[in-house]
Structure 1
Amino acid sequence: MHNHHFPMAFPILFLLFICLPFSSAKLNVNYYKTTCPDFEKIVRENIYTKQSSSPATAPGILRLFFHDCITDGCDASILISSTAYNPHAERDAELNLSLSGDAFDVIVKIKNALELACPGIVSCSDIVAQSTRDLVKMVGGPFYPVRLGRKDSLVSEASRTDASLPTTKMTMDEIIKKFTVKNFTIKEMVALTGAHTIGFTHCKEFSDRIFNYSKTSEIDPTLHPKLAAGLRKVCQNYTNDPSMAAFNDVRSPGKFDNAFFQNVLKGLGLLTSDYILGVDPRTRPLVELYAKDEKAFFQDFAKAMEKLSVHGVKTGNKGEVRSRCDQFNHIPN
């Protein structure tokens, strides 16, 4: 007997493809299965070695990944070094100067290993995406699938970064706009901010909350007084030593958990932007949810990271597979 339903399957399948953003439709988790079968293993082993010896790697890579992706898509444009031909590369943008050396180092190390195993195959942007996921998992965060097949950018300009990245001094309206203009929801923004559960922030980013806050108060009254006192000690010489920093999550700085949200509600967030996340009516309910339900945070973080990891990706001839992550294959004319 013949099946009358059969022809219907095609239009439905076709519709599914139309709904996927075209660029990410070409990506898939098995992209290197035949061309570079050791890809996952090489990334994982290098990440494990680096993270074990320098715990700042995980937050460093997470930040590098976010700064790269939110600027003009996940395309490794942030890894390009400035040259005479391209004097203001993204890496040298004011907001990227504090990115961790450990993060750049481990990407280079992985790239070198992959160039030996399968030369010219794996893009730097795929290395960044995969390393980020592996590190999030390694420090206790959720697992999420990473689709692969990104190409590396042919452009890298510092000016694009300043226009895209949120800063700690912005109002909540301004911060929200940085995300919504890139098609991320407020919920995704709050979940992604949970990345502050690991890593540290340099004193200059929050010095205005602990020194000469106002005419009547030396410290910001919304900051927990004990934390403020501790930060004043840590940061007392920060103007002479710009590397002075404090952990974002004072309770479990090395573990990916929901403590950041609990801290925010107790006045233990380092940044003004952390504080307003806990008071703004658009974001507070999410902060409260994530503070009491780690599973909800992990789920939303994983989904947001998966979405961020395919944001603005370049495929086909829109990009290239760089042979060195810090330079384009051809010097632009």
Structure 2
Amino acid sequence: MAMAFRRGGVVLLAFVLALCLSATELEARLGVDYYHKTCPHAEFIVMDEVKKAMAGDAGLGADLLRMHFHDCFVRGCDGSLLIDSTPNNKAEKDGAPNNPSLEAEAFEIIDNAKKRLEAECKGTVSCADILAFAARDVVVLSGGFYYKVPAGRRDGRVSMASETLTNLPPPSFDLNQLTQNFAQKGLTQDDMITLSGAHTIGQSHCSSFSNRLYNFNSTFSQDPTLDPAYAAQLKQECPNTSGGANQQVPMDPNSPTTFDTSYYRNLLANRGLFTSDQTLMSTPTTAAKVWQNAANWFAFQKKFGKAMTKMGKIGVLAGSQGEIRENCRVVNGFH
């Protein structure tokens, strides 16, 4: 029995070492300035396309940032969100909540960057990396801090709408549900609170939070944690009619296109738009982190870059895994 235990221990130790080595190898494949030699203008080209698009419509920036989140939370950061549906498969981009929340024009920004990159260094820069670069560029162009993006991701070949609802946290989640969802992706509660700060830019359809205004629960028609004055304002913008659900409002009405800490100040005033926003104030521990982010713009910006870098490594494909898609909308070899 003793020998069997030692032998089993050796096998277990070998398995653990293999996992550690594979994780280390993966980290080694992702690196800052990954395209320095193979496609030195890669990040400049992506930034240029994002800048041109946001100059015409600043709201597209929030879509690009959300696209990176939604890509990483489903199958990892593999660019699968960018794949188009086919007659035989409904892809992620057409699953809820991606459709209708993500604008078609945002996907075109990635297409434009990919076309330029293919012309300059064919088959080199992955769609997944383009999306990661674009998300960082949105933060910078909206007034946030620049952070370096480790690259070297490969593109996935599978995209299924059925996986979006089971992986993406809905706006109705409470703190425990959110914490568990992020933990499943290897992210801490602090990461979650920091990454939620992305809601400082962009808009939301009224349907994502109208239950807080008109049909909250059997006791309250209106969410009692929602500031009454803000609720009255939202009711004006989101009437309880068939067409009201399709209206859009800014997630941070104070500065909807600026990457600042106004989102956290809104939470302190009970003006979080979603249940999943205001729930960050539901415990002393999480409320303290909200207060810290609200009070220190510089510290929040640094934390956000670190959290984005960590999120950008979820389930990445590297080395010989996946592929470098020629067209971000179509897997290679499919016509």
- TM-score, normalization by structure 2: 0.89
Match of 1:311 in 2: 314
Deviation at 1:242, TM superposition (A): 4.7
Change in 2 beyond 3 A, CA 1:212/1:74: closer
Match of 1:118 in 2: 121
1:232-265 CA deviation, whole Å, 9 max, x = no partner? 1111166326541111111111100111011001
8 Å contact kept, 1:203–1:238: no
- In the alignment, structure 1 residue 186 sits paired with structure 2 residue 186: no
- In structure 2, distance between residues paired with 1:328 and 1:119: 15
- In structure 1, distance between residues paired with 2:220 and 2:187: 37
Alignment RMSD: 1.9
Consecutive unaligned residues of structure 2, counting only runs of 5 or more, are 1-19
- Range with greater deviation from structure 2 (209-218 or 146-155): 209-218
1:275 to 271, 275, 278: 278
- Range with greater deviation from structure 2 (31-40 or 314-323): 31-40
- In structure 2, distance between residues paired with 1:242 and 1:112: 36
Match of 1:93 in 2: 95
Deviation at 1:128, TM superposition (A): 0.4
Consecutive unaligned residues of structure 1, counting only runs of 5 or more, are 1-16
Q: Where do residues 73-152 of structure 1 align in structure 2 (5 Å cutoff)?
A: 73-85=76-88, 87-97=89-99, 98-152=101-155
Deviation at 1:146, TM superposition (A): 0.6
Return the letter of the residue paired with 1:151.
R
- In the alignment, structure 1 residue 295 sits paired with structure 2 residue 298: yes
Give % identity. 39
Change in 2 beyond 3 A, CA 1:139/1:238: farther
8 Å contact kept, 1:24–1:313: no
8 Å contact kept, 2:80–2:156: yes
8 Å contact kept, 2:142–2:259: yes
Deviation at 1:286, TM superposition (A): 0.7
Flag as ranges the 4+ runs of structure 1 deviating above 4 A: 17-20, 214-218
8 Å contact kept, 1:202–1:244: yes
Change in 2 beyond 3 A, CA 1:274/1:114: same
8 Å contact kept, 1:60–1:102: no
Question: Could you say what secondary structure the match of 1:317 adopts?
Answer: coil
- In structure 2, distance between residues paired with 1:239 and 1:142: 41
Change in 2 beyond 3 A, CA 1:208/1:116: same
1:24 to 23, 27, 43: 27
Deviation at 1:215, TM superposition (A): 5.9
Deviation at 1:281, TM superposition (A): 3.4
Match of 1:4 in 2: none
Return the letter of the residue paired with 1:224.
D
Question: Could you say what secondary structure the match of 1:289 adopts?
Answer: helix
8 Å contact kept, 2:155–2:317: yes
1:200-239 CA deviation, whole Å, 9 max, x = no partner? 1110011011124456654322211221111111111663
1:132-160 CA deviation, whole Å, 9 max, x = no partner? 11111110112111111111002112222
Question: Could you say what secondary structure the match of 1:201 adopts?
Answer: strand
1:226 to 224, 229, 236: 229
Match of 1:8 in 2: none
1:30-89 CA deviation, whole Å, 9 max, x = no partner? 22222222212211111111011111111101100000012121110001111134x121
- In structure 2, distance between residues paired with 1:65 and 1:194: 14
Return the letter of the residue paired with 2:209.
F
